[in-house]
Amino acid sequence: EDKVVQSPLSLVVHEGDTVTLNCSYEVTNFRSLLWYKQEKKAPTFLFMLTSSGIEKKSGRLSSILDKKELFSILNITATQTGDSAVYLCAVGLNTGNQFYFGTGTSLTVIP
Amino acid sequence: GAVVSQHPSRVICKSGTSVKIECRSLDFQATTMFWYRQFPKQSLMLMATSNEGSKATYEQGVEKDKFLINHASLTLSTLTVTSAHPEDSSFYICSARDSGRDEETQYFGPGTRLLVL
């Protein structure tokens, strides 16, 4: 059975801290891994990763994929209260158009 | 660009009634749309893949007669929750892939919160 697991489930940090969120997967026919940020409503796209070892960066956020060890990390440096959200990773397979979402990590950044 | 809308944003209905939720891609064509369900403090659960002009593909455990999906055009997919019951209360989100681009990014709608009394 295909599986996407995120850790930790929740995290509370102070503004300015750096956080690392993990996403591990066990799927057949892996194609891509996507990271999303979900605040009150629908998720917003952050990154898509298809190749190992290539870091994707956007401001204070960065992400990298390890296809050998089957995981990805999302880093957020100098966290701000606006980073508080649930971060979701999703894995796409070669066998179809579907994406399967992980459990999510709830991040709370306190002033 | 790449905006997806959902209507209604919130609906309250009585048990036994049917509710239709629309998902539209506003500025792109989408041959494939996805329907997800999300319970409070839980992740998105893929319910089905909606394919324009053909039958939807349902995930295991999702009743196709309960959750009717129609993808009649390149910009519209509908999800009808038939004979809704309180346990169907949830947050329903659709997403769409841009058929005109060779990319996998899904664009999400704002979601529909369904409450069945």
Dump pLDDT digits (tens) for A34-68: 999 988 777 888 999 998 999 999 999 999 999 99
Q: For all residues of chain A together, what is the average pLDDT?
A: 91
* Cβ distance of A88 and B43 shorter than 8 Å: yes
CA dist., res. B83 & res. B74, Å (int) = 27
- The confidence band for A19, taking pLDDT boundaries of 50, 70 and 90, is very high
The per-residue DSSP string of A7-28 comes to E-SEEEEETT--EEEEEEEE-S
**Nearest residue in chain A measured CA to CA from B44:** A101
Interior CA angle at A35 toward A34 and A37, to 5°? 145
Give the pLDDT of chain B (117 residues) as one tens digit per residue.
678 999 999 999 999 999 999 999 998 888 889 999 988 777 788 899 998 888 899 988 999 999 999 998 999 999 999 999 999 999 999 999 887 776 667 788 989 999 999
The pLDDT value recorded for residue B54 is 87
Question: Nearest CA of chain B to the CA of A45: how many Å?
Answer: 8
The pLDDT value recorded for residue B24 is 95
How is chain A split among helix, strand and coil, in percent rounded to 5? 5, 60, 40
* Cβ distance of B42 and A31 shorter than 8 Å: no
List of chain B residues whose C-beta atoms are within 8 Å of the C-beta of residue A102: 43
Residues linked to residue A92 through DSSP beta bridges, in sequence order:
A32, A99
Give the B window 22-81 contacts with A, CB below 8 Å.
32, 34, 36, 41-46, 49, 57, 59
Q: Which of A93, A94, A97, A105 to mutate to test the interface with B (most CBs of B within 10 A)?
A: A97
- The confidence band for A101, taking pLDDT boundaries of 50, 70 and 90, is confident
**Nearest residue in chain B measured CA to CA from A42:** B110
List of chain B residues whose C-beta atoms are within 8 Å of the C-beta of residue A32: 104
The pLDDT value recorded for residue B20 is 97
The pLDDT value recorded for residue B11 is 96
Share of chain A above pLDDT 70, in %: 96
